[in-house]
Amino acid sequence: MDLAAEGRCWDPEAVHLELAPHSVAWEPVAVEATRGAALRRLRLSLGEATRALQLRVPLVGGFERWHFGWLLAATTSGESVKEPLLPLGASTATAGAALAAELESAGAVASAAAEVAAQLSRSAQREAEALVAARQRALAGSGGRDGPTIELTVAEGGLAKLTWPGAEAPLKLGAEHLSKLRAMHARVRAAAEHAGGSSAGDSSDDGELRFRHDLARLLLRYKALGGSGFQAALGGAAHSALRDGFGCGLECFASPLNARSAPFCSGFLDVDAPFGSLGSFLDFSPTEGSFEANPPFAPALVVAMAAHMQRLLRRAERNARPLLFAVVVGSSSAMKASEAWAALQRLATGDFGRAQWVVPLQHHGYTEGHAHISKDGARDATKMSSCETTVFLLASSAAAARWPVTPDKEAALRAAMRATIPKNLHRATKANAKVHRQRVKLKKSKVKR
């Protein structure tokens, strides 16, 4: 087991595919701040509405699941999306229905749950319209690519801070993650220069200014997204075990903040591309290779992922090409009751299912979604899993022959996932006990109904 990988935030030597730089339009940092404010208002409005419903259990992650559902509807609609975070014009009907069902399951009256979801959708459309207008005004008044001077200061052994005139508060980043993102950004710039891209010929000063600008937009985007559990990731040792045992390289669901290497797939090409993103996994069509997928628990997204993998595996099988996916999902009771779980089970029990390993909740942890603002980086920002995790190995016949499933590989992955258990195990166990009590309370209330 590679414990050294557990103590660092990325694996710089792991290069799986050649970088293919994407051209990203320049945008003022103020526009990203406006996006974040709009999303925060929507999140707060849902919080106020759910408090008024007096739910039996809190709706943990409900807003994030609704938002991911909205984004998925936008990316799969085939329409041109003007806004990456609040997609104007994209239907929120499916996401709203899923949210209403969650609220009802948590104890809300059906009519009240439906009204809360409908009100959130109406508010979202208003925010999206206002955001598009604000963006157009900001671009018209920016006068080119000259934005505010972004200051970057790094305290010795502490956090880096980014600030600029008009910023609400400094953006924080751990020194190790700053070094990682600077290296990723430099790789993309070098690839663009090699290809004759827009950054070719930039001076070192220009490169630093662009790095700070891109970094500020990136941090603002993921700060706005919140939901640290949605951004949690496998620990470095687990990635190493998957890479050693099954050749897993590129991550299908990552961000520049938690990716172990570049390139990777992610959901926000406009802010992620300068650091090595290839875009959405749903638009990524490898013919062969081995990939790791740890998607956010947004049922609609997991269903779309499973369908995409099925198509890719069928094509690889027809062409006798080795293609493998190691899919890691939290298998909570909510997940197991969803269509997402049914879709995964259909894959796992079909022609391409090679293994399905269940890891008990008390036997593993994850790297926190906010690890990038921890002074100690990946070493300190770990969390106990809140539910058991299931690892699915899906592979074409050629991939199964190249990367066979063995008991030793399973044992290595389990041990590696155990290495991410927080050092403060007492605190982690208390958190799990609280989650368990909430689940028991919910089950009892359902029985009474």
Residue 350 and residue 219 in one domain: no
Residue 125 and residue 195 in one domain: no
Q: pLDDT (tens digit, 9 = 90+) per residue, 14-58?
A: 866 676 667 788 899 999 999 999 999 999 999 999 999 999 988
72, 141, 340, 391, 425 from 100: Cα distances, Å = 18, 41, 17, 29, 36
The domain boundary residue, chosen from 141, 161, 181: 141
> Does residue 391 form part of some domain?
yes
Residue 436 and residue 348 in one domain: yes
The domain boundary residue, chosen from 114, 141, 168: 141
> Does residue 336 form part of some domain?
yes
Give me the pLDDT at residue 297, please.
81
Helix (H, G, I), strand (E, B) or coil at 159: strand
- Residue 367 — left, alpha, or beta (φ > 0 → left; ψ -120 to 50 → alpha)? beta
Residue 153 and residue 90 in one domain: no
Residue 255 and residue 369 in one domain: yes
Give me the pLDDT at residue 426, please.
46
CATH number at residue 409: 3.40.50
Interatomic CA distance for residues 149 and 141, integer angstroms:
16
Residue 240 and residue 190 in one domain: no
Interatomic CA distance for residues 249 and 14, integer angstroms:
8
Residues of the domain holding 61: 29-141
Residue 156 and residue 280 in one domain: no
Interatomic CA distance for residues 42 and 92, integer angstroms:
13
Residue 93 and residue 240 in one domain: no
> Does residue 406 form part of some domain?
yes
Give me the pLDDT at residue 16, please.
62
Global pTM? 0.88
Residue 36 and residue 55 in one domain: yes
Domain count within the chain: 3
> Does residue 289 form part of some domain?
yes
> Does residue 378 form part of some domain?
yes
Helix (H, G, I), strand (E, B) or coil at 358: strand
Residue 318 and residue 418 in one domain: yes
Give me the pLDDT at residue 448, please.
52
Residue 289 and residue 419 in one domain: yes
> Does residue 10 form part of some domain?
no
Residues in the chain with pLDDT values less than 50: 200, 426-428, 447, 449
Burial of 336 (0-12, 13-18, 19+ CB in 10 A): middle
> Does residue 22 form part of some domain?
no
Residue 36 and residue 109 in one domain: yes
The domain boundary residue, chosen from 194, 225, 256: 225
> Does residue 9 form part of some domain?
no
Helix (H, G, I), strand (E, B) or coil at 421: coil
